[in-house]
Structures are given as C-alpha cells and as structure tokens.
C-alpha cells in the first residue's frame, strides 16, 4: 500500500510540479491576450500567463530529469527503465498536459462565471491530472509504468494531497483560506 502510494506520487510528480513553477515564475501577458469569449467573459483570465505556461512545462521537465538522476543514484528503475527519448516524450506529455488541463479548467470556470482564483472543486484538483494522463497515455510503454492501480491511486490520492497541502499552507500562514 505504502509502496503504491510512493510509486504513484513519484510517477505523477512531473504532472504535479508544473503549476508550482507557474505560480513562482508566472505573470505578464495572459495566454488569452486579455480577450473575451463569445459569452463576454474572459476566455481564460489573468491567472493563465504565457510565462507561467512556459516556466511550468520547463519546470516539469527539470523535475523529471532530477528524478531520473535520483533513480540512477539509488538504483530504482521507473523512469530510468525507459529509453531516454521515450522518457523525454513522457515527461513533456505529463507537464504540458498538466498545464493544458489547468488552462482548460480555467476556461470552464470562466464559462460558469467563477472568478479568477476562486475554487471549483474536482476540476481544480483533477482536471490537470486527467489531461496529463490522457496525453501521456499516447506514449509507448505508458501502461508498463502507469498501471491501472497507479492511475486509480492517483485519482484518489491527488484530491487528498491537495487538501492536506492546502491545510498545511493555511496553518503556516502561506494561504488565506484552507482550500
Ligand atoms: N499561473 C500562471 N500561468 C499559468 C498558470 C498559473 O502565471 N499558466 C500563476 C498565476 O499567477 C496564477 C497562479 O499561478 O494566479 C495560480 O495558479 P492557478 O491556481 O492555476 O490560477 P488562478 O489564479 O486560481 O486562476 P483560475 O481561477 O483561472 O484557475
Ligand atoms: K488551477
Ligand atoms: Mg487557483
């Protein structure tokens, strides 16, 4: 059980971390260039920026490479069991997919009139993951690492991880609200 949890988090880190890089390095021109959709509301909003997107994808790739290095160092074979080109494609799919899912979530939120930064349960916690996994599933050898139990564990664990990390961030005074 603990092994499955650790393995799942490890395999999903390249999808989890892009948003953190976007938060830290984001800002500037929004992806939707400030434009409105046909409903008169913003397409994505000011929370989705080009710099955040690029920094997020780069950050996810960086994290995956650090993981590859750690695996070789400690002798674990997950990402390191793949050909380097396959690993690269997988890492890119996870981080790019994660930020596309995040942007898609914002698109849906704006259509429902949910303001930038306001929460939209489930979509906020799982949208990025579903997109990341859908894109990554196109990469050969995906099923070898991302077994159905890893995917199920990921879908259950991710909202829980969100909840726990947000409560910790709130207690530490890093967030205004505990969600
Ligand atoms: N961010 C960014 N570019 C992205 C994604 C995120 O610059 N592609 C930065 C923004 O500063 C954003 C912050 O990371 O405010 C937090 O990301 P997120 O919670 O996804 O955005 P929200 O501000 O909550 O906006 P939304 O309601 O559209 O999700
Ligand atoms: K989000
Ligand atoms: Mg948010």
0.85 surpassed by complex ipTM: yes
Shortest-distance ligand to the CA of residue 19: 1
Instruction: State yes or no: pLDDT of 107 exceeds 90.
Output: yes
pLDDT value of position 97: 98
- Give the residue from 92, 84, 69, 76 showing the smallest Cα distance to 15: 92
- pLDDT band at 177; cut points 50, 70, 90: confident
Residue nearest atom 15 in ligand 1 by C-alpha distance:
47
Residue nearest atom 10 in ligand 1 by C-alpha distance:
47
Domain, as residue range, for 140: 13-148
Domain contains 40:
yes
pLDDT value of position 165: 86
Domain contains 157:
no
Domain contains 104:
yes
Q: What is the C-alpha to C-alpha distance for residues 123 and 33, in angstroms, rounded to an integer? A: 23
Domain contains 169:
no
Q: Sign of the CA dihedral 152, 156, 158, 164?
A: negative
Classify 30 as helix, strand or coil: strand
At 121-159, the pLDDT tens digits run 999 999 999 999 999 999 998 999 999 999 999 999 999
pLDDT value of position 176: 79
At 13-70, the pLDDT tens digits run 999 999 999 999 999 999 999 999 999 999 999 999 999 999 999 999 999 999 999 9
Question: For the chain, what is the domain count?
Answer: 1
Q: Is 21 in the pocket of ligand 1 (CB under 6 A)?
A: no
Domain contains 47:
yes
Mean pLDDT of 77-100: 98
Distance 75 CA to ligand 2 centre (A): 34
Atom of ligand 1 nearest to the CA of 116: 27
Distance 150 CA to ligand 2 centre (A): 23
Domain contains 156:
no
Q: Please give the biggest Cα pair distance in the chain.
A: 54
Q: Please, which residues bridge with residue 36 across strands?
A: 42
Domain contains 176:
no
Domain contains 133:
yes
Instruction: State yes or no: pLDDT of 175 exceeds 90.
Output: no
pLDDT value of position 56: 98
Instruction: State yes or no: pLDDT of 162 exceeds 90.
Output: no
In this structure, what are the phi and psi dihedrals at residue 42, rounded to the nearest 5 degrees?
-55, 145
């Amino acid at each position: 059980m603990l092994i499955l949890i650790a393995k799942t988090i490890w395999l999903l880190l390249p999808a989890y971390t892009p948003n953190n890089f976007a938060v830290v390095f984001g800002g500037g021109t929004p992806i939707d260039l400030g434009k409105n959709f046909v409903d008169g509301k913003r397409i994505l909003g000011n929370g989705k920026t080009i710099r955040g997107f690029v920094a997020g994808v780069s950050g996810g790739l960086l994290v995956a490479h650090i993981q590859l290095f750690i695996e070789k160092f400690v002798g674990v074979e997950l990402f390191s069991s793949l050909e380097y080109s396959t690993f690269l494609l997988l890492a890119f799919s996870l981080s790019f997919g994660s930020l596309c899912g995040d942007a898609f979530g914002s698109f849906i939120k704006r259509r429902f009139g949910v303001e930038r930064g306001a929460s939209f349960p489930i979509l906020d916690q799982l949208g990025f993951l579903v997109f990341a996994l859908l894109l990554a599933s196109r990469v050969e050898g995906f099923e070898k690492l991302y077994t159905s139990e890893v995917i199920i564990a990921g879908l259950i664990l991710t909202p829980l991880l969100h909840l726990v990390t947000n409560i910790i961030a709130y207690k530490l005074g890093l967030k205004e609200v505990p969600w």
